[in-house]
Chain A
Amino acid sequence: METNKTKEALFSKKNRKLLSDPMNINNPITVQVLGICSALAITVKLKPAVVMSLSVIVVMALANVITSLMRNMIPNRIRIIVQLVVVATLVILVDQVLKAFVYDVSKQLSVFVGLIITNCIIMGRIEAFSLGNTPWKSFLDGIGNGASYGLILIVVSFFRELFGNGTLYDYPVMEKLGLYELGYHNNGMMLLPPMALIVVAVIIWWQRSKTPSLIEKD
């Protein structure tokens, strides 16, 4: 086991799979259906979705590495508490640093900090992966899952902001295209929470139709 690990290249095929799998066949949102709560809450506009995605990638990668380093020291019975403490500490530290040095970004993020702590994907990856794997693999797993979570967030918020608000990253697309003069109206329903679930469901539908291995045989 020990010799295997030292021989393995940093970006071996197995390690690359850690990055690519979550993007498709093991996507945390569309396949594992985790992190739905925050995907619903912050996909009204692109900007907060992007900030949230970046923060989740950072927190998830660091939390994975830290718990992986401690994996042989954590008592089994309190491991969930330990995971929670690690994630919460990281989120608070990130928030404090942002508040001190990039105040604008921290104002964007303020509401969502709490959501990062409760994000089930982070806890899920720590519990399922980093407690049993080396720090480097855990790091890759964290980046992979964080990025694929972010991908879905950005896709959903793209559609919601475009059709609900007529803007993209606060740029008035629909106005510039002159659609309002032709009688076009924004669909206010896109801004309401249920539409996030419907958009996610459409993505799941599309993904399953493209990936036969995801379809259950009953």
Chain B
Amino acid sequence: MNINSNSYTYVFAIAMVIVVASLLSIAATSLKPFQEKNIELEKKSDILSSIGVIGEDPELLFDEYITEQLVIQNGLVVSSEVTAFDIDLEEAVKESNSTRKVPLFKAQKNGDTFYVIPMRGTGLWGPIWGYVSLKGDGNTILGASFDHEKETPGLGAEISTPIFEDQFPDKILFSSLRDGIEVRKGDASGYQQVDGISGGTITSVGVQTMFEDCLIPYKNFLLNLSIENDNPSDSTISVLYH
């Protein structure tokens, strides 16, 4: 048989495409349940690690620590067909701040209440996302963790390292000066400032924008919390507010 004839070339190409297409679709469909499970587990352990719970079995720990899952729209708790855990934040952040429905996770740890807010924004090369956990007053940060899809290793990708993340605890989100966290160059001693990444300016600014954008739907809800739990001993917040 002449393997360089036109008809053979066509037959070969068609056969190859069919074989490859079926191989890939079989692989994709049969592996999908495993992949989705991995993504779900990762999300659960991300939420847990933002309140400082790290363990072997995120599934079990999640049920133990996360007591309530709320859906928030424009500062109010609303009912939703989709549960808070299943809300696709990538789609949600495309909507305007006032109409989007966003999840809020309420956690109990050693008798204290914490709130976990998922965030999503844009870095230099692709999406960045993260979780910020708040203390019971709904304003003081307990911890923050970030991740990214394709920021440059050693530069923008440093947002997901402790060097950057460890600056967030005890900063506050809302004051009369601004909402969110200012990521700046150099001195970052203020209550709403953190030091950005050298060489990763656009990613750092992306983190700041992500805070500003993602907090708006929660703002009134969280401010009500801080009025309810007004703690006179925490003078810093009172000073900034009055």
Residues of A within 8 A of B (CB): 42, 44-45, 48, 72-78, 81-82, 85, 89, 92-93, 96-97, 99-101, 103, 110-111, 161, 164-165, 188, 191
Chain B 1-50 residues near chain A, CB threshold 8 A: 3-4, 8-9, 12-13, 16-17, 20, 23-24, 27-28, 31, 34-35, 38, 42
CB distance from A173 to the nearest CB of B (A): 15
Inside 8 A of B3's CB, which chain A residues have their CB? 72-76
Partner of B199, one of A73, A99, A191: A191
Is the pair A73, B153 in contact by a Cβ cutoff of 8 Å?
Answer: no
Partner of B152, one of A44, A75, A82: A44
Distance in angstroms between the alpha carbons of A122 and B31 in the assembled complex: 27
Distance in angstroms between the alpha carbons of A101 and B32 in the assembled complex: 11
Instruction: From known contacts A77-B4, A188-B198, infer whether A101 and B155 are also in contact, taking CB-CB under 8 Å.
Output: no
The residue on B at minimum CB distance from A42 is B153
- B150 touches A (CB below 8 Å): yes
The residue on A at minimum CB distance from B41 is A103
Is the pair A164, B149 in contact by a Cβ cutoff of 8 Å?
Answer: no
Main secondary structure on A side of the interface with B: helix
Is the pair A48, B153 in contact by a Cβ cutoff of 8 Å?
Answer: yes
Distance in angstroms between the alpha carbons of A111 and B149 in the assembled complex: 8
Is the pair B31, A78 in contact by a Cβ cutoff of 8 Å?
Answer: no
Is the pair A44, B154 in contact by a Cβ cutoff of 8 Å?
Answer: yes
CB distance from A102 to the nearest CB of B (A): 9
Partner of A73, one of B12, B27, B149: B12
Inside 8 A of A92's CB, which chain B residues have their CB? 24, 27
Distance in angstroms between the alpha carbons of A101 and B35 in the assembled complex: 8
Distance in angstroms between the alpha carbons of A89 and B28 in the assembled complex: 12
Is the pair A45, B34 in contact by a Cβ cutoff of 8 Å?
Answer: no
Is the pair A165, B31 in contact by a Cβ cutoff of 8 Å?
Answer: no
Residues of B within 8 A of A (CB): 3-4, 8-9, 12-13, 16-17, 20, 23-24, 27-28, 31, 34-35, 38, 42, 149-150, 152-155, 198-199
Inside 8 A of A110's CB, which chain B residues have their CB? 149-150
Q: Which of A48, A99, A164 lies at the interface centre, i.e. has the most chain B CB atoms within 10 A of its CB? A: A99
Distance in angstroms between the alpha carbons of A165 and B163 in the assembled complex: 13
Instruction: From known contacts A99-B38, A103-B42, infer whether A78 and B9 are also in contact, taking CB-CB under 8 Å.
Output: yes
Inside 8 A of A96's CB, which chain B residues have their CB? 27-28, 31, 35
Distance in angstroms between the alpha carbons of A111 and B199 in the assembled complex: 20
Distance in angstroms between the alpha carbons of A89 and B150 in the assembled complex: 23
Inside 8 A of A82's CB, which chain B residues have their CB? 12, 16
CB distance from A42 to the nearest CB of B (A): 8
The residue on B at minimum CB distance from A192 is B199
Inside 8 A of B28's CB, which chain A residues have their CB? 96
Inside 8 A of A45's CB, which chain B residues have their CB? 153-154
9 contacting pairs across A/B (C-beta < 8 A) = A75-B12, A76-B3, A89-B23, A92-B24, A93-B23, A96-B35, A103-B35, A111-B149, A161-B154
Inside 8 A of A165's CB, which chain B residues have their CB? 154
CB distance from B135 to the nearest CB of A (A): 30
Inside 8 A of A101's CB, which chain B residues have their CB? 34
CB distance from A112 to the nearest CB of B (A): 10
Partner of A111, one of B23, B42, B150, B155: B150
The residue on B at minimum CB distance from A161 is B154
CB distance from A23 to the nearest CB of B (A): 27
Inside 8 A of B13's CB, which chain A residues have their CB? 78, 81
Inside 8 A of A99's CB, which chain B residues have their CB? 31, 34-35, 38
The residue on B at minimum CB distance from A77 is B9
Is the pair A93, B154 in contact by a Cβ cutoff of 8 Å?
Answer: no
Distance in angstroms between the alpha carbons of A44 and B200 in the assembled complex: 14
CB distance from B15 to the nearest CB of A (A): 10
Is the pair A191, B155 in contact by a Cβ cutoff of 8 Å?
Answer: yes
Inside 8 A of B16's CB, which chain A residues have their CB? 82, 85
Is the pair B31, A97 in contact by a Cβ cutoff of 8 Å?
Answer: yes
Is the pair B152, A89 in contact by a Cβ cutoff of 8 Å?
Answer: no
10 smallest beta-carbon distances between A and B, as pairs = A100-B34, A100-B31, A103-B38, A75-B9, A191-B154, A44-B153, A44-B154, A111-B150, A99-B35, A45-B153
